Structure 1
Amino acid sequence: MKELDQFSYACGVIDAFNEVVRAGVKRMALAHPCPSREERDSYLPFAEKICSQYGTRCYAEDEPLLTDLFPVTLNRGTYNLIFYKNESDLEEYLALKAQKARLCAAGAYRDEARREIAEGFGRLLSYTDEAIGRLIEENKEKEII
């Protein structure tokens, strides 16, 4: 089998996720996290071209929303591209980030409030309630606040 370089693989992921966002299968999708802003930005010209083809949008995320949905080391300190079709979905994502920041500042990011942030993020990613619950329960690497 021919070896696929990492850049081409990541571009394939970007294309595929934009296709499902365009089709309405997912409200929002994430590219693979990048360890540096420079690496993430190297994908921007391709991502912008694909978004133009599919009628989707791209948001360059420098401080990803960390929730109990995914292991914290998967996204902490990384840079990502978020794909979406409706501006209201990006606004909802940014509102979740702001809500988490307020909860953390007030010392209230725990228990039900913490779970609600993770569930809200999961719904934005169009995961089923069952999948959201399973991902949260299976995640053994949660953020320590």
Structure 2
Amino acid sequence: MKTTDYHCGVIDAFNEMVACGVKRLALSHPFATAEERAQVLPFVETITAKYHTMYYLEDRLLISDLFDPTVHEGKYMILFYREEKDLQAYLELKMVRAESLRRREYATVRTAIAHRFGELLSYPNEQIDRLIAENRQKG
């Protein structure tokens, strides 16, 4: 199976979950380059039209304690969502992280940021706690 086929299968499945309200926000798998991501954009256009969802091209995914940052750093992602407020909440969360780093207050809010990110991805609280606890490469 080609990598592009795999990405398209994941994109289809996640858009169906977003459309049905199972997930507020979904992430594509990371793409190594913007060009690799661009190869699937025609499919993304088709699938988001099919499911009445939207997408956002993300070149710098929010780094948090939820995921090992080395998996996403320097990678290109696509975020899928149904409601604009969910994308806005994600973008605001990125700003909160940046501002907390600037003010040197990140240590006091890092767990809350990771939790909020997990909630946007519609993960159960127990799963969020487990992911944070098991992540050895904190963001």
Give the TM-score normalised by the residue count of structure 2. Answer: 0.98
- Hey, what's the Cα distance between the residues in 2 that align with 1:11 and 1:31? 9
Cα shift at 1:35: 1.3
- Residue 48 of structure 1 is matched in structure 2 by 45
Query: Letter of the aligned partner of 2:123 in structure 1?
Result: Y
- Residue 2 of structure 2 is matched in structure 1 by 5
Is 2:85 aligned against 1:88? yes
Is 2:116 aligned against 1:130? no
Runs of 4+, deviation exceeding 6 Å: none
Moved more, 38-47 or 114-123: 38-47
Query: Letter of the aligned partner of 1:141 in structure 2?
Result: Q
- Residue 117 of structure 1 is matched in structure 2 by 113
- Residue 21 of structure 2 is matched in structure 1 by 24
Cα shift at 1:40: 1.2
**Structure 1, gaps ≥5 residues long:** none
- Hey, what's the Cα distance between the residues in 1 that align with 2:110 and 2:38? 31
Give the superposed CA RMSD.
0.7
Cα shift at 1:98: 0.4
Pairing partner for 1:139 from 132, 135, 138: 135
- Per-residue displacement from partner, 1:107-130 (whole Å, max 9, x unpaired)? 11114x000110000000000010
Give the TM-score normalised by the residue count of structure 1. Answer: 0.94
**Structure 2, gaps ≥5 residues long:** none
- Per-residue displacement from partner, 1:116-145 (whole Å, max 9, x unpaired)? 1100000000000100000000001113xx
- Hey, what's the Cα distance between the residues in 2 that align with 1:81 and 1:72? 16
Is 2:63 aligned against 1:69? no
**1:98-117 residue pairs with structure 2 within 5 A?**
98-111=95-108, 113-117=109-113
- Hey, what's the Cα distance between the residues in 1 that align with 2:131 and 2:80? 21
Cα shift at 1:52: 0.3
